[in-house]
Structure 1
Amino acid sequence: MRGSHRSELPRGALRPKVGSSSGRRIRDVSAELSGYQIERQIGIGARSRIFAAVALKTGRRVALKRVARNSRDDDRFIRQAENEYAVGHRIDHPHVRGVIALHRVRRRLRLAELVLALELVDGLPLEKALPNRLDRFLAIFIKTAAGLEAIHRAGFVHADIKPHNILRGRGGVVKIIDLGQASPSGRRKERIQGTPEFIAPEQVHRKILNERTDVFNVGASMYWVLTCETYPTEIAGRNGRGVTLAAARPLAPIEINAKIPRSLSDLVMECCRSSPGERPADMAELRTRLTSIRALWNKRREAYRLEHLSRLQRGATDEVTRNCE
């Protein structure tokens, strides 16, 4: 288990970095936690701001996710941050962003904000860093499946996998982030949670969630990355009154882009089947099939490369023969 830490901080424990060009903004949001030196703001989420910082005791660079509680409307975001810590600090895997510590900040004896210390990842969400080659696409989702497999082994379902929650960094780094909506496997949620463009049918109908729920979310994510189009989920295909629209059969990725291997197109559509029992059983199966597709693709690329080289050599030989005649 990853080393973890919880703390309670009094008012005034957050201070701005002296001399920082962004010091005024940091001071305004009270973003620096005692024991950390804030460097800069690196992101904004739902009711949260994320800062790059240095842990003064260890010198480790981290990401601090600050979730403020200004009213009762913020309570669900506080709960999600608490959930991210509760789930994340149990998981230690190279393709899941590490959750290091949770700090509670109180003012006048009331919880004012939560600050999560997270692994700092130098990368961008997949939605902003799309792969331009099939082998890179396959590598990203093989690693994503491996990270989700670790989450499932810990007894949880991520329940909100989408391109925004997959970070892609240099050197092939891939990290699953945002465990705020993670749920114990085999449970049903009290309300609908998920992102409409990637949500599974059992999430919409508040049925039991398990590994196959994440399989659907991954399938819808792969569909979007391959085609730049949204798979018609049961929420994405509704009208403004919440009524499910009668949609035509979803186009398979290969029907949108003929260069996509049929085996990959078929796998994506299997992942997105409405019935969980008709999807790949788990991330181990998904990862194995993606790995097989990559091996076959690489074999075909190598065969094409050798054939192209052979043609060049034959052309060069013919040219020499003509010059000698």
Structure 2
Amino acid sequence: MIGKVFAGKYKIIDEVGSGATSTVYMARNLDTNQILALKVLSQSSSTDAEFIRRFQREAVIIKNLNDPHIVRVYDFGCQDGIYFLAMEYVDGRPVSEELAKSGKLPLEKALNIAIQAAEGLQAAYRSGIVHRDIKPQNLMLDADGRLRIMDFGTARGGDLSSITVSNVFIGTPYYISPEQAEKGKSADIRSDLYSLGAVLFEMLSGKVPFQGDSAAMVVVKHMTDPVPSLTAQDPTIPSQIDQIVQKALAKDPAQRFQTPEEMRLVLKDALARVCRPAAPSPGVAREMPRPPVPAPPAATATPLLLSLESGQQFSVTVPECAIGRADPERGLYPHVDLQPLDLGRSVSRQHARIVCQGGTYFVMDAGSRNRTYLNQVALTPGQMYPLKDGDELWFGKVKVVFRLR
């Protein structure tokens, strides 16, 4: 499939991921040179009328939604009997991968993800759309931490009729609302908020709210069992957060948040309350905490990256310098191309950035696959770390030294 051109302009250049019914590729629009994602329905699914309807539904629904937290759809078509969807390419990873790597997420990060998801759901709600399959796999984070909601193939709204798969409920058992699972009951936006509550529960605890030996058992627990207390499981989780999750996971939709905006505002208030620094006690002198890394002196020289092994030098000549591996097929040309030093292809195409702010240089990992290290310490993606002359940097397996000449 690599190299194949769809609709005369979408050239496939790499495979991103695949599932039972479709494969997602990175592609380039030959007319505009834009990088995008091309979702291609498998040949077996392309002959299934039900899957084709779902595919068309996703195209129609998302094309009419314009929100920064919903992945954009540009085009839909069929070529040689194969259906495809041209979408926004998100260079990142789903929340499910974050959970698989970390087990659970820090409180502030989990709340930020839930707030962004609620913003996207509010846009869908305004258009009368119910997603019906909110889960970590469908929440994509880019390198900057911005979230997009994906996969509206099971959504319902407007004049679009409901679709089920093989005559069973739509949704994922671990995140499905009671009314969505119960035959004969309709699901509205409050069902999506229930699912988002289940995702938030998992992000904070590392576990889904209800577990069982079978999907049917999990569904029954969603319908009958009380929601476990997050604070009882982990006393470090504030009771205010526990109460928010309990409300989102109420069995009765009337007891939940009624709109995504209502849930977003409550989450935002909680974030401000529980994550802000505590005020000093009366009578205690105010003192700035000592920074974990001494602030380097303001840069007065032009920086460069020096490979001690090869002697090659790479100048940092722009205020925000992209570091990575060039890929002409994808139209990616970082300011500093480490490909000559990267025989093992350990450097990501968009690996890291060196940023100059206020005369000081910082390094930031851009969500690379093989991490960025500063003096042998792994960097948290998306966070900036100050640099000083002589610092050792590892981009994957490529080692360089930061110099101010």
TM-score grouping bracket, smaller chain normalisation:
0.7 to 0.9
Q: Is structure 2 residue 72 aligned with structure 1 residue 98?
A: yes
Deviation at 1:94, TM superposition (A): 0.3
* Contact 1:157/1:185, CA 8 A, preserved across alignment: no
Q: Offset of 1:302 from its aligned partner?
A: 4.1
Contact 1:16–1:32 (CA<8 Å) still a contact in 2? no
| Cα distance in 2, alignment partners of residues 35 and 311 from structure 1 | 56
The 2-side partners of 1:215 and 1:71 are apart by: 30
d(CA) in 2 for partners of 1:201, 1:298: 32
Deviation, structure 1 residue 68:
2.5
Q: Distance in 1 between matches of 2:82 and 2:224?
A: 44
> Structure 1 residues 142 and 173 mapped into 2: Cα distance closer, same or farther (>3 Å)?
same
Counterpart check, 1:76 vs 2:59:
no
Taking structure 2 as the reference length, what is the TM-score of the superposition?
Answer: 0.62
Q: Which has the larger share of strand?
A: 2
**Residue correspondence of structure 1 range 99-178 to structure 2 within 5 A:** 99-106=73-80, 112-130=81-99, 132-178=105-151
| TM-score, with length taken from structure 1 | 0.77
Task: Answer whether contact 1:97 1:176 (CA < 8 A) is retained.
Answer: yes
Greater RCO, 1 or 2 (C-alpha within 8 Å, sep 6+): 1
Say if 1:312 and 1:245 are closer, same or farther in 2 by CA, change over 3 A. closer
Q: Is the 8 A contact 2:21 2:45 kept in 1?
A: no
- Measure how far apart 1:79 and its partner are: 2.0
Give how far 1:136 is off.
1.6
**Higher mean displacement: 130-139 or 263-272:** 130-139
Per the alignment, residue 328 of structure 2 pairs with none
> Counterpart in 2 of 1:10?
none
User: What is the alpha-carbon distance in structure 2 between the residues aligned to residue 283 and residue 228 of structure 1?
Assistant: 24
Matches of 2:285 and 2:107, distance apart in 1: 20
The answer to whether the 8 A contact 1:41-1:51 is kept is yes
Q: Compute the displacement of 1:172 (Å).
A: 2.1
Aligned twin of 1:50: 24
Q: Which sections of structure 2, spanning at least 5 residues, go unmatched?
A: 291-405
Find the aligned partners of 1:74 and 1:99 in 2 and give their Cα distance: 22
The whole-number CA distance in structure 1 between the counterparts of 2:155 and 2:173 is 16
The yes-or-no answer on 1:86 pairing with 2:52 is no
Contact 1:198/1:233 (CA < 8 Å) preserved in 2? no
Higher mean displacement: 174-183 or 38-47: 38-47
Report the equivalent of 1:297.
Answer: 274
Specify the SS of the correspondent of 2:148: strand
* C-alpha distance after superposition, 1:68-89 (max 9, x if no partner): 2426874332222111101000
Residue 199 of structure 2 corresponds to residue 221 of structure 1: yes
Q: 1:129 Cα deviation (Å)?
A: 1.7
The superposition leaves residues 277-314 of structure 1 with CA deviations (integer Å, 9 ceiling, x where unpaired) of 11111101100000000110233x2437997964989x
Coordinate RMSD, CA, aligned: 3.2
Q: Could you say which residue in structure 2 is the equivalent of 1:37?
A: 11
CA contact (8 A) 2:105 2:204 kept: no
Q: Across the two proteins, how many residue pairs are aligned to each other?
A: 280
> Residues of 1 paired with 2:74 and 2:281: CA distance?
46
Question: 1:226-249 CA distances to partner (integer Å, 9 max, x unpaired)?
Answer: 112122289967349x97799763
- In 1, distance between residues paired with 2:45 and 2:289? 70
Deviation string for 1:38-76 (max 9, x for gaps)?
210001123101100110111111000000242687433
Structure 1: gaps (5+ residues): 1-14, 18-29, 107-111, 314-325
Query: After superposition, what is the alpha-carbon deviation per residue over 1:98-131, rounded to whole angstroms, capped at 9, x for unaligned?
Result: 011001124xxxxx22100000001101011247
- Structure 1 residues 268 and 136: alpha-carbon distance in aligned structure 2, compared to 1, 3 A threshold: same
Equivalent residue of 2:228, what SS? coil
